[in-house]
Each structure stands twice: as structure tokens, then as C-alpha cells.
Amino acid sequence: VTIGRGLDLTYQLVSKTCPLMISRKHCVFQQNAEGQWTVKDNKSLNGVWLNKQRLDPSKAYPIAEGDRIQLGVPLENKETAEYEYEVIKEEWEKIRPFLAQRNDLGKAKSSRTKRKFSLEESETSGSEGPSNSRPKRDRVSCGNEPLCESWGRAEEAKQLTEKTDVKLPSPGPSEEDSGPVCSSPVHSEKAVSVAHKDQKGSGLAQSWTGLETLRKTLVDIMKLKVKVQEKQRAVLNVKQKRRKCAQKDILAMEQELRELQDQLCMEQEQHHQQVEELERTFSKEQQKLEGIKWQHGEENLKEQLAQVLQEASRYESRFGLTHHALMEELSRSKKDFEEIIRAKNKELEETKEEKEKVRAQKEEVLNQMNDVLENELQCTICSEHFIEAVTLNCAHSFCSYCINEWTKRKVECPICRQEIKSKTRSLVLDNCIDRMVEKLDVEMKEHRLTLIRERKEKQNVLVKPAMDNDGSVTSSVYSIFLMSSCDSEDTEEDSYYSESYYII
């Protein structure tokens, strides 16, 4: 079973929104040696999708009940593709009424070849209604999906109608109004005079009457097509909700759809026969009129033929312009989409650059903090950041533990060598160092905590012997007696301050 938009296929699909969505021979359904149905992508442009996975070209994939098959891709403003199907499995007795009867097809075929309608018979049949003949086309039964045949009928009927629409000219002037073929009343009067002078030209008026009948038939066919499409959509909706609906309702709707499709096919077959009969009539009349030597009649016929050809060319140009406009719209949409992508990429690049700048600034700030900590906030004795910073009378700062260990050997500043007279705890400096250390990496934080623990342990070791020797139960402290004196030449009094400084 072949599917595509070509002509020599089992089922022809013509997209309404995007004609080039379906390739000429899009895909092939066939049974393998084991009786399993398979689907194969015939190197189509937009591909075949099985359960949201695109198939490799020219490779058969087995399908089972419940699989979803998608032909083509969704358009930009739609979420689903135009042609999307679900594989179902029905019993033979249920789908048998929807399959074509080959015997009836052969009988209808033979009867069509033997019967010949005259112009009056075609007009009478067009006014009475559709005939009982079957449409001339091949029907392929689809065992797994009962609506395949119905869909194929509707698509083929649509193609036949479009072809005949392009070929048919519009009807000529009647007794009350004038059509587009006769452009002026002078020509119409000439045509009437020719018809009165020669009774052989009376068949031309009958031909125009047949054209009016054909136009009415076309209107009826278009109405039937709309009904068939609506019924197809209703049947598909019922099929999708078949678990909730009764089987009897589904069969009834499918029967109505089949009747509408048969009626549409009959109308189209009758329409096709009328077109063929009118073409034969026109050819005969043209041969008769060629034998007539009246100059006015020849000019009128030429003008009518030119107008018919002009109208046919207008039909072709209109369809061509529609296709061209659609392609231009697609190209514009593609350009707009590319511009949006470029704008988004540009915004992404700008965002990346801003992030890089922020990261570089952050690294620069951290580096500056590290430089400040290393150059300005380091103890010259232990070469570490201040721990419990202490400022001496000479304005130099050291760790409390380091300066205490230093004063055991020398009572002078390690930097300027001045005598140590006072020590002042710098809480501001400690807080500043703690805040800056919080911004550093984890390794630096762990190193500082380790130093603090080690120095506290050493202080505890030094405090225990002092408690044993003195026998005191009070808190263990180091007592440092400092005397500070400040002499001033402007004041007459000398101030002596004694300060006791304790480190726990």
C-alpha cells in the first residue's frame, strides 16, 4: 500500500495547509513473510515518525496495534502534524461492509464502457439526481484500519473535482443575464443571429445549458465533499473514544459516512460523464462551425474559444499564485525565525560576557583581600593572620600568644626594639580579620581553626602547672604588670597609669 501526493499510488494525500509536506511517494505499508505489517519511509523530505521516533529511509519497521504513525512534521503554529494515525485491529466481520466489492466494480466498469449518453440524457440525469453507477477507480481493502478506504475515496474525489474545476469554462449567457464569456452585447447579438441563420448552431445553446447544469452539479459535489469531511472527522473522533461509545453508534456513523461517500462518487462520476459528453459536443460543433463560411460566426467562435482559454489560464495562474504566495510566506517565516535565533544567541553571548566580568571582578576583590591579609594583617613572628591581635605601645600589632612567648625572652618590640610598656587587645582588628577570612576558601579557614586550637591547647598546658604551684582555684591567667607613663612639656602634672592586662 503506497501513500503520497503522487498520482499512481494507492492513497493520495494532498495537504491543505502545506502542499509540499507530503512527498510524491511518501511511505509504503506491506506485509513481510511472517504476515507482520511493516512501514517504510521512501526517502521522503519530512519523514515518517513511528511513536515519536523518525524512521530511517528505505528500512522497514514492524507496526503493532496501538502504534502511532505520523506523516510529516507539525507546522510552527500547531502542536500536532496534519496526518497522524493510530494502528487498530478490528475483526473481519466489522470491517467487511466498508471494503470495496470487486464484482460490483467490474459490472459498473463494463456498463460504463457500453453506455453512451447524449446531451439531453446528461442534462436529464443531472436534474434528476445521482446515478447508481460506481466510481471508476481501484479500491484496496485495509484490514488493520477500516477508515483507510474512506479516506482514500475522499482524497481521490477531491483530486477529480479539482481537475474538472480547472478544465471547465464558466457558463455562457442565458436569457436573463450574461456570463463572463460574452464580453459585449454586440457579440451576443451576433451569436444569436448566427444561431437563427443556421439551425446547426443550435447545439451551442444546448452546450451552454449543459455547462449551467455542470456548474450546479459542481456546487452539489462541493456540498457533499464538506459533508463527507465533517462525517470523517466525526467518525475519527468516535473511533478515538470508541471505548466510551457503543459499537452500534460507531457502525451507524460509519454507514452514514459510506453512504455519503458513495453519493459523492456517483455525483463525480456523473459530472465526469457530462464533461466528456460536452467535450464531444463541443468538438462536433467546432467541426460544423468550421464548415460554415460566415465570417461573423467564425469570429464569434474564435472569441469564445479565446475567452475559454483565457479563463482556463486564469484558473492556472490563480492556483500558481496561491502556491507561490504560500512559499513566500514560508520563506518569510523562516527568515523571522532565523533572526529570532540570532538575537537570542547574541543575548546569550552578552550574558556570558557579563558573567565573565562579574567573575573576574570577584576574583580581583578576593585577590586584593588576600594581599591585604598577607601584607598588612600578618603577624611578623608566626607569619600567620592575627589571632587575638594585641597592639603594643609602639603601635605594632602581634598575636597575643606570639608576643607572650616573645616577652619571655625579651621585653622589647620585635620590629622596632622599643621597650614594651603596654599591650592593648584590638577587637576591631580581630573582627575585621574574621570577616575577611569568611570570604576565603575552605582550606584557609581550616588552617586558621587548627592554629587556634593548637594555641589554646598550649595555653592550657601552661596554665595547669601554675595552678598546682599556687594552689588557687580561680581562673588561670597570665599576669602582666605594665606601667605606662607619659610626660608632657605643656602640662605641669605627671600622670601615672597602672594597668593590669589579663589573657584567658
Look at residue 312 and tell me whether its pLDDT is greater than 80: no
Q: Write the CB contacts of 426 (distance below 8 Å, at least 6 apart in sequence).
A: 386, 389, 390, 391, 397
Look at residue 179 and tell me whether its pLDDT is greater than 70: no
What is the pTM assigned to this prediction? 0.27
Residue 402 has a pLDDT of 92
**Biggest CA pair distance of the chain:** 155
- β-strand 423-425 against 389-392: which pairing, if any? antiparallel
Look at residue 443 and tell me whether its pLDDT is greater than 70: yes
CB crowding 255-265: b at 16 or more within 10 Å, else e: eebbebbebbb
Average pLDDT (333-340) is 88
Distance CA 81, CA 83 (A): 6
pLDDT tens digits, one per residue of 115-136: 433 333 333 333 333 333 333 3
pLDDT tens digits, one per residue of 37-69: 999 999 999 999 999 999 999 999 999 999 999
The answer to whether residues 87 and 97 touch, using CB atoms and an 8 Å cutoff, is no
Higher pLDDT pick, 455 / 296: 455
Higher pLDDT pick, 273 / 55: 55
pLDDT tens digits, one per residue of 370-406: 777 667 788 888 888 888 899 999 989 999 999 998 9
DSSP states along 259-315? HHHHHHHHHHHHHHHHHHHHHHHHHHHHHHHHH---HHHHHHHHHHHHHHHHHHHHH
Amino acid at 184: S
Q: Please state the φ and ψ torsions of residue 13, each to the nearest 5 degrees.
A: -115, 125
C-alpha cell at 336: 523571522
Higher pLDDT pick, 102 / 49: 49
Q: Distance between the two ends of the chain, CA-based, in angstroms?
A: 96
130-134, 200-204, 211-215: lowest mean pLDDT where? 130-134
Most confident of 154-158, 273-277, 445-449: 445-449
Residue 245 has a pLDDT of 55
* Average pLDDT taken over every residue of the chain: 70
Residue 61 has a pLDDT of 95
Amino acid at 446: E
Look at residue 501 and tell me whether its pLDDT is greater than 50: no
Which pLDDT band, with edges at 50, 70 and 90, does 471 fall under?
very low
Higher pLDDT pick, 184 / 379: 379
Look at residue 140 and tell me whether its pLDDT is greater than 60: no
Higher pLDDT pick, 445 / 194: 445
Residue listed under C-alpha cell 456498463: 111
Residue 137 has a pLDDT of 34
Please give the radius of gyration of the chain, using alpha carbons only, rounded to the nearest integer.
50
Which pLDDT band, with edges at 50, 70 and 90, does 144 fall under?
very low
Average pLDDT (252-271) is 81
Residue listed under C-alpha cell 464502457: 113
C-alpha cell at 282: 463541443
Distance CA 357, CA 26 (A): 53
Residue 38 has a pLDDT of 95
The answer to whether residues 23 and 80 touch, using CB atoms and an 8 Å cutoff, is no
Residue 488 has a pLDDT of 34
